[in-house]
Copies of this chain bind each other. A is one copy, B any other.
């Protein structure tokens, strides 16, 4: 069974093409705006109590996928699901960003790492108790340390 997902907004960023887009939000201090479509604005109540939010969005410029990829941070092939590579069977992206301010249906965010015009699927509050794991091993990403 397939599931149909419909954007609830648009992420605006300074990045117009893939080459200039940072690899991950931790490597970006870029400011962007999340424009939530007006019909969903009521759902934003109390979100500004959270310093960080999780954005789920569509990697809308990715097409097709390979199950083994060379990620941006390595020159070896790895299984796609062991990477954050954007071309995936379900091209859903995830970024944890800082919520700078909220004004009506527009969120100002810091640490944006997506292309301008990215379709937004969901916003969730970032909660360390749920989302933080201490002492995590990070496989091939640790090699260079």
Contacts and interface: CB of A to CB of B under 8 A. Distances in A.
Interface string A12-31: 00000000000011100000
Contacts of A47: 79, 81-82, 139
For the complex formed by this chain, how many copies does it contain in all? 2
A129 B81 CA distance: 17
28 contacts: A1-B7, A2-B5, A2-B6, A3-B121, A5-B90, A36-B81, A40-B89, A43-B67, A44-B81, A45-B77, A46-B79, A46-B139, A50-B82, A51-B137, A51-B138, A52-B133, A56-B90, A56-B92, A81-B123, A81-B124, A81-B125, A82-B125, A83-B125, A92-B121, A94-B94, A96-B133, A128-B132, A128-B138
